[in-house]
Amino acid sequence: MSANRRIWFFIRKSLLGGLTILLPISIIVFFFRWIYQTVTEMIAPFTTVFIRAFDLPKFVADWLSVLAVLVLCFLVGTLVATRVGSWLWHQWEENVMTRLPGYKTVKEVIGQLMGSNSDSPFSRGEVARVWLYGRDTDVSVTALVTSRHADGHVTIFVPTGPNPTSGFIYHVDQDLVELHPEIGVESMMKTVVSCGAGTAALFKTDKA
């Protein structure tokens, strides 16, 4: 190998090695920066109050605002958990909130994603491996069973990686579905976020 080729090989290897290390870090930093900017925009009214009242730096005021929002969520959740608070919220929601356009839809979506809804597949945890194109075709997908039909069909949700909150909905015959009750939803979602990494251990079999 000539000297020029060795130099070019060394430069290319060094650049690729640097990108391999720095690019994931840059993406993570960008992601957290985006979250921080989104959150600070949402809590801007609280931040303004802290800055004007206590003359605090914006960074400190932002974190105090986040803390204040968390405390507020805790207090509201505690209040609604009581009998009186639950009754008051039920009356308010039934007479006021349900009249707002889109409220029920947004509430149901959040309940599904957070797993707080009893009908949420994220709370029931029916992890399955599904042969979409039939058992004779050696192609299967990781899915969540979301509904069962009287005619023997089931509805499944196939999340896409690395964002598991988006995906595809299919209605398939029960014979194409292999349930795995021993697998938790959290373990399944880890393989989705990692674009399939770890699936071999997730669906391990006793075959030699």
Q: At 181, which CATH number?
A: 2.30.30.140
Q: Report the number of distinct structural domains present in the chain.
A: 1
pLDDT for 53: 86
| Residue 1 placed within a domain | no
pLDDT for 194: 85
Would you give the DSSP letter of residue 82?
S
| Residue 54 placed within a domain | no
Range of the structural domain that residue 158 is part of: 121-202
pTM: 0.50
Q: How far apart (Å, rounded) are the C-alpha atoms in residues 122 and 112?
A: 7
Contacts of 108 (CB under 8 A, 6+ apart): 117
Q: How many CB atoms lie within 10 A of CB 68?
A: 15
Contacts of 155 (CB under 8 A, 6+ apart): 145, 146, 147, 148, 149, 169, 170, 171
Residue-wise pLDDT tens for the chain (208 aa)? Answer: 577 788 888 888 888 888 888 888 888 888 888 888 888 888 888 888 888 888 888 888 888 888 888 898 899 989 988 999 899 988 988 888 888 888 777 777 666 666 555 555 566 668 999 999 999 888 999 999 988 899 989 999 998 888 777 889 999 999 999 999 888 888 888 888 888 888 888 887 544 3
| Residue 107 placed within a domain | no
| Residue 65 placed within a domain | no
pLDDT for 197: 86
For residue 101, is the peptide bond before it cis, meaning its omega torsion is within 30 degrees of 0?
no
pLDDT for 206: 43
